[in-house]
Structure 1
Amino acid sequence: MASADLKDELTCSICLNLYSDPVTLKCGHNFCRECIESVLDTQKGSEAYSCPECRAKFQECPVLQRNTTLCKGSPNIVEHFISQEEHEEVFCTYCIHTPVVASKTCLTCEASLCDLHLTVHSKSPEHVVIQPTKSFKNRCSHLKKPLMYYCTDDAECLCISCCLSEEHRGHKISSQIEAFKQEKKQLKIIEGRLIQEREEINEQIQRLQDQIMHIREKAAGIVERVGVHIGDIKKKLDSLGRHVLNEISKQQEQMSLSISNVVQQLESKEDNLSRKLATIEELCRMTDPLLYLQADKDDFTDMMGDNDPNLKEIEIDDLAEDLIFKNLNSVMVNIMSDLQEGYYVQKASGIVLDLNTAANDVHISDDLKTASWSKINQSRPEIESKRFEDSNVLSTNAFSKGRVYLDIEVSKEGAWRVGMAYQSISRKGQYSFIGNNSKSWGLRSCENQYSIRHDQKEIPLACRPSCYKVRIYLDYAAGLLSFYELGDSMMRHLYTYNATFTEPLYPVIAVWDNAWARVLN
């Protein structure tokens, strides 16, 4: 058992054999020099190197330190273990009471024999007798001869006699060592591919997890902004409601006061009439003509012979309901107009290219909508700090608020970039191209492959161009700049930048190698 444990400690985890020229990584794990060098070779070009045992990461290819403990001495620990294994005593299988050293081993019986038991052992040719050994795995099951060869066609280990048999005639036969090396070589290639594939999967997983976080953050931002907008609407509607209710209450109070004054006048007039009626009733009850004629009738003199009471109809103004609702609707329209600029997405219109910024290898169409790469120098006059040295052209329009989008038709041939840039972008040198600086953000198409670029950092996109229209969407306040591909039946999202914009953004186009791009309004 102790021997087995020691063997495990001296076994390389890559080739599963005893160490050959053992070396140690920084993490403390040991490997055959040839094995670990092959693994590290497959990791070249990746972001980091890793230990096959514990997956410890190394930014640079680790220096392989020779394991002096395993290698020291002559023979060293590994060689000494092999030597001990080879010279370990083998005991007779049949001497069960007292161990007796075996003198021979029969491969047919798979038993070891001392001199005594060997004398009574079968002398038949079928029984192959060799020097004492504990291992029967490296012998042919048919002829009991050492397995020294390998049939690639049948994936089978063979002895020399089996190699010459009819069963394996014409097959590809090689030595075990050669087959072992070839298979190990292929296995290492496969291992490298699997490691690379695993790393790509991990990168995709990380990218998708980052996208999930981005979507969560974006959703939270949208929820917050929607809450702010709804809160603004509520505040303005509450203020409008209070104003309208106050106006209604004011009109009601004014109309009620006016009507109350008329009622008071009518009540006073009614009291006067009631007093006169009482006097008339008293006069009508008189029977003495003298007293009646001498009575005071001055209050009724004007009314004698007049059949028309001459009462005028009093007209009172009603509440101005139509005016109230007209003002209400007008204020609500103003509220929605104020919110529209900050909430609704508008299509950019009137976008034209600025001829004063166009490089002399870019032809601009008469309607200032299309930029095309040109072999012929356009020989435009130099305008200080305005004209690009190569390939680029800005638009005359800038955006510093709200949400807008614009569509651009692009060519199938050549290479192009479209995006947004600050007016302060460099005009000369390699840092003037879209995405080669911190002042521009762009979508690039080259050799049928999309990528996005900003501040000299380029990220290839997994999807390939499937149509020739792209959309640029800008939410300036939220710091979002998105690129989409516009198909006939659907729109495909390509990438979204998150940034804090500090200057107005101008649409920008760059074209090379017969490419062109046209702004669609």
Structure 2
Amino acid sequence: MASSSSDIGVNLDALTCSVCLQIYKEPVALPCGHSFCRVCIETYWESKEEDTGCVCPNCREVFPQKTKLKKNVTVAHLVDNIVNVKKGGTGGTWGTESHCEVCNGEAAKRCVPCEILCCEKHLKPHQQKGHKLVDPGVKIEELRCTEHGKPIQLYCKDDESLMCLMCTGGEHQDHKVVAVEIAHSELKGVLAAKYPHVSQSMERVASQLQQVQKEKEQTENSSRDAEDRLEEKGKLVCKLVNESVDLMKREINKRKMEKLSLLGKQREKLEQQLEDLRQGKSTMDTAFQKMEAVSFLQGSKDVLKMLETMSDFTSVKRTPLPVLDFSKEEKNLDGLITLNKKFLEKIQNGRSPSLDQNSAHRRIKISGDLRTATRTGTENQHPEHPDRFDFYEQVVSRDCFSSGRHYWEVDVRSSRLWGIGICLNSMGRKGWESGLGENPESWCLRKHNNKFSAHHNDRRTSLSIPGDHERFGFFLDCEAGELTCFGDSRVLHVFRGNFTDPVKPAIWVWGDGGSVHFVHLVK
């Protein structure tokens, strides 16, 4: 029988019956100290026809009379535990991932060749034999070659792969192969050399992250305080304007009632005069109808007296009333409106950028109003120019900003794949390094495969933007060093950089037929 078991990795010689060469079954001990299976020793004695008595199969000691067989309790206990381990039983903690498989103590290491867990005490024989030792939690199968099943002892530097001795005769024959211990030592040396740099970088990044978080909190608090103040001021302005308008409306109503009262009195007087004139005219008409001379003369005195009264009407003049004039009050309101309008225009500066024909890639066609960039399937006959992009289908605006605040919007409904942002005027226009967001000199919002992302210096930040927006807004604050990207009045991303260096709005269009349009903002 082999001296070890691959299943449990324990030396079984001491637990093997020398008669049947199997693990003890109901072990019993003879007076000489040797143990055997009860059935094996009884069968052995029955098969021997010796008058001298019972003989020990191992040491040949003779017992004059048949000895009483007693169970070897210690050996039986060991056998029971080992059998449980081999069968996967749970009758104890023997042989578990944390206990020595010899004494059931706390395991310190696992011996790879013997496949056994050992405590510090039972580990020494394996150390003296130079066996490979690993931590208790390491699985043996992970330390064997997947192709040959042999222990991994070598490392191929060319393929950066682990291998066993049998692997050296194959494709690794001419490769640079070293012992895993040497490769381990070398790699640890490389990592040790990089460790301080990584630690320092972690400290710097952690410090920067802390500063960013602090600045974020300060920005949020500052913004919240500013919004609260503006809200209060807005309410106050609205209150004052409403009170002013109400006051002017009351004054207008007062003056209107005064003038209407005077006009009413004048109207009553004029209506009375008109009625008197109608009666006089009627009297004259009656007198003219009296053709008989005596009758006419008899009534002429009354008619003449009435005419004298009517002659007074010609001297009556209507007193002109003052015209209602609120131009002064309206001028004050107009001044307030103009002030706010100029303030908003100063913040928004909503002039739409126009595209630079000399920068457009040959597959980009620019519209006549210089606001739309369309990706074409063939190259356009653009003349050579040092500002023209020659690798990516991009174009920049003619407008260049280095101070102030600027806002523009872009219509993307005709393009599924695009990139929109800004770039330094000094950014290169040639070669693969000229892509928007692919270098330190450009900042770009992109849509690709219905997913949105922000790019700068060849770094990508995924954005969660629900829906399919047709317009995107961009607010550039040069002094603050911020480019804020909007979608449906919602902040999508904020780029930060040195925007006091001249920058230009820029467009990148993928996909034949796709187009992107700078929206004309009406003030």
The TM-score normalised by the length of structure 1 is 0.41
The TM-score normalised by the length of structure 2 is 0.40
